[in-house]
Amino acid sequence: MHDLKFIRDDPQAFDAALKRRGLAPLSTDVLARDAALRAVLVKLQNLQARRNEASRQIGQAKAKKDQAAASALIAEIAGLKDQIQQGEDEERRLQSQLNDFLATIPNLPAADVPDGADETANVEIRRWGEAPAFGFAAKEHFELGEALGQMDFAAAARMSGSRFVILKGQLARMERAIAQFMLDLHTEEFGYREISPPLLVRDATMFGTGQLPKFSNDQFFAGEREWRRKHLFETAEEVSAGTPVGVGDITDLLEKAEKTEQFWLIPTAEVPLTNLVREQILNPSELPLRFTAFTPCFRAEAGAAGKDTTGMMRMHQFAKVELVSITAPEQSAAEHERMTNCAQEVLKRLGLHHRVVVLCTGDIGFASTKTYDIEVWLPGQNRFREISSCSNCGEFQARRMNARFRAEQGKATRFVHTLNGSGLAVGRTLLAVIENYQQKDGSIAVPGPLRAYMRGLERISI
RNA sequence: GGAUGGGUGGCUGAGUGGUUGAAAGCACCGGUCUUGAAAACCGGCGGAGGUUCACGCCUCCCGGGGGUUCGAAUCCCUCCCCAUCCGCCA
């Protein structure tokens, strides 16, 4: 959510930043709505002031038993009532329209983000390690996993459809080991606090981090609503065959069902972790706050038809260890670098060749001011693929969540800055380990750091 | 699923129609006192917005929305949220 004052003060800067994202200028539209709202406000407030004053005088007149004066004032106010009502309606309408409009405008890119239209303009800023050299043709992870009998897409499709996978035996264990390894690293060496959060959240929570209102199609939805609606229709059919009930009764039931509890499935633990500070006023001494969580993530992958259709690159459900930092504004840029290094350290310890890329203005996410992607080398695909994305959201999410801190006692509150990053995507890390540690015979060597989490197992084989 | 009780400023918590934006306490800021600190005492201290060169003035905010009224934190309707008890349950 944007600061209206900023747009008012410097509409050119606002439009210029939007343009870097490839968007048309919006300040004229925003400011026109703002001006219309304020015009109504001034008119309304004058009417309200007069009404309030007259009401006070009525109270005084009645106290003095001056009935004539009171009646005259009441008559005057009667004429204002309609105008005030109209003004209030108009204000509400304009205000909510303005808010809705602002809620769909993405964050502005930081000054040091490279310009560009799409991912081809992203800039590699560092690279670590080397691609492994095999004396044989490298296979892709799903070929290896299926041959081992430990990765089953067919069975997953039978029960859940496409974009699901079932891991079995040692691969299932390795997924768990990877998550454990990451959590221990981030909590014990980097000072992140482990959190076990809800996976189902409310609308307001999803709005806070920016998934709503614009990206509801990318999300999964859970609730009693659909089930209950169906159930009620069936009940209605049964009832209509037998004992009659009033049509209104069914309507009432359906209306009630519409309002039953409903939740969104989190697309990333960024949502609950960042919302830990929603509606809070933090003490500056507790900043920065650093949270990590290992959770499943759920994504509809709408609009990804045809992309990464084979293998476990792009699933409806995947595991991820997430990192979130809450900082004072002055700290966020440095924290962003630190967070990216924390994520990168996982790959270093696992000995996985990778590079860090800064996303261009056309490729950064809705809430982000600046994003680093970490891309891991996949020998089977012979290319780098994203395994982590670390973003500094500035105060964009904090405004939506109303997350503040009091910089100095007795002074006004300020919005915190929020950052999030994958530390890392567990499914893709597993995939990367499989491809990078594959052996000629189709077995998988277990990287050193993971062995402790797998009871010393050194190799995964049939 | 059933039954109650609640949602008031940074926190606790009064307040059932007329200078109540809101008592009191805590916290915080300034001052007095003190060698210093603490204690005590005195004073200050919510947010959002509009308007003004400025001092200031005005409006809105007691979970959200709507309504009654000249006037609502206070009455009515509705929605949301929280807590407790019972039932069910990993």
Nucleotides of strand B under 7 angstroms from a protein beta carbon: 1, 10, 18-19, 28-29, 44-45, 47-51, 58-60, 65-67, 70-71, 79-81
Q: Same structural domain for residues A281 and A158?
A: yes
**From the alpha carbon of A74, which nucleotide's C1' atom is closest?**
B70
Q: Is the pLDDT of residue A384 over 70?
A: yes
Q: pLDDT tens-digit profile of A302-357?
A: 888 888 999 999 999 999 999 999 999 999 999 999 999 999 999 999 999 999 99
- Residue A23: phi, psi to the nearest 5? -105, 150
Strand B contacted by A41 CB (< 7 A) = yes
**pLDDT-derived band at A89, boundaries 50, 70, 90:** confident
The pair of structure tokens assigned to A376 is: 């891991």
Per-residue pLDDT at A224: 58
Band of residue A68 on the pLDDT scale cut at 50, 70, 90? confident
Q: Domain for residue A211, yes or no? A: no
A278 and A255 housed in the same domain = no
CB A407 under 7 Å to nucleic chain B = no
**A305 in the same domain as A401:** yes
Percent of chain A with pLDDT over 70: 90
What's the pLDDT at A150? Answer: 98
Checking each nucleotide's C1' against the CA of A70, the nearest proves to be B70
Strand partners, A166: A152
Confidence of residue A456 (pLDDT cuts 50, 70, 90): very high
The pLDDT of residue A250 is 46
Closest by CA to A301, choosing from A351, A348, A267, is A267
Please determine, for residue A234, whether its predicted confidence score (pLDDT) is greater than 90: no
Choosing from A260, A282, A304, the residue where a domain stops is A260
Nearest by Cα to A364 from A20, A10, A4: A20
Residue A170 lies in a domain: yes
- Closest-CA residue to A363 (of A126, A125, A112, A109): A109
Q: Are residues A12 and A135 in the same domain?
A: no
Residue A259 has pLDDT above 60, yes or no: no
Boundary residue ending a domain (A74, A103, A132): A103
Over residues A389-431, the pLDDT tens digits come to 999 999 999 988 888 887 766 567 888 999 999 999 999 999 9
* A108 falls within a domain: no
Residue A273 shares a structural domain with residue A254: no
| Sole residue written with tokens 């008559």 | A75
Are both A252 and A379 inside the same structural domain?
no
On whether both A309 and A397 belong to a single domain, the answer is yes
* Coil vs helix vs strand at A300: coil
Cα–Cα distance measured from residue A359 to residue A425, given in angstroms and rounded to the nearest whole number: 18
- Structural domains of chain A, count: 3
The pLDDT assigned to A257 comes to 43
Claim to verify: residue A230 and residue A127 sit in the same structural domain: no
Tell me the percentage of chain A whose pLDDT exceeds 90.
58
**A408 CA – B50 C1', rounded, Å:** 27
Q: Are both A278 and A345 inside the same structural domain?
A: yes
Residue A440 lies in a domain: yes
Confidence of residue A225 (pLDDT cuts 50, 70, 90): very low
Instruction: Identify nearest nucleotide to residue A404 by CA to C1′ distance.
Output: B10
Q: Is residue A372 part of a domain?
A: yes
What's residue A213's pLDDT? 81
pLDDT at position A247 over 80: no
* A304 and A170 inside one domain: yes
What is the mean predicted confidence (pLDDT) over A265-270? 95
Tally the residues of chain A.
462
Quick check: is A209 in a domain? no
Residues A190 and A249 in one domain: no
Q: Which CATH number is A151's domain given?
A: 3.30.930.10
Average pLDDT, chain A: 88
Nearest nt (C1') from A88 Cα: B60
Q: Is the CB of A80 under 7 A from strand B?
A: no
| Highest mean predicted confidence (pLDDT) among A43-52, A359-368, A404-413 | A359-368
Outline where A260-390 has alpha helix (H).
270-274, 332-349
pLDDT at A202: 86
- Which of A260, A282, A303 corresponds to the end of one domain? A260
Strand B close to A88 by CB, under 7 A: yes
- Shortest-distance nucleotide from A73 CA to C1': B70
Dist CA A213 CA A1 (whole Å): 12
> Residue A78 CB closer than 7 angstroms to strand B?
yes
Q: Could you check: is the Cβ of residue A458 within 7 Å of any atom of nucleic acid strand B?
A: no
The integer distance in angstroms from the CA atom of A306 to the C1' atom of B83 is 49
* Confidence grade of residue A92 (pLDDT, cut at 50, 70, 90): confident
Distance, Å, A38 CA → B11 C1': 35
pLDDT of A253: 45
Q: Are residues A134 and A77 both part of a single domain?
A: no
Q: Is residue A12, in this structure, part of any structural domain at all?
A: yes
Residue numbers of the domain that contains A99: 4-103
Mean pLDDT of A123-144: 96
pLDDT at A66 (0 to 100): 73
- The amino acid at A164: F
Of A210-214, A297-301, A447-451, where does mean pLDDT reach its minimum?
A210-214
Q: For residue A110, is it within any domain?
A: no
pLDDT of residue A235: 47
Instruction: State yes or no: pLDDT of A121 exceeds 50.
Output: yes
Selected residue with higher pLDDT from A323 and A69: A323
Q: Give yes or no for CB of A412 within 7 Å of strand B.
A: yes
Q: Provide the pLDDT for residue A320.
A: 98
Q: Domain holding A77: CATH number?
A: 1.10.287.40
Q: What's the confidence (pLDDT) of residue A408? A: 67
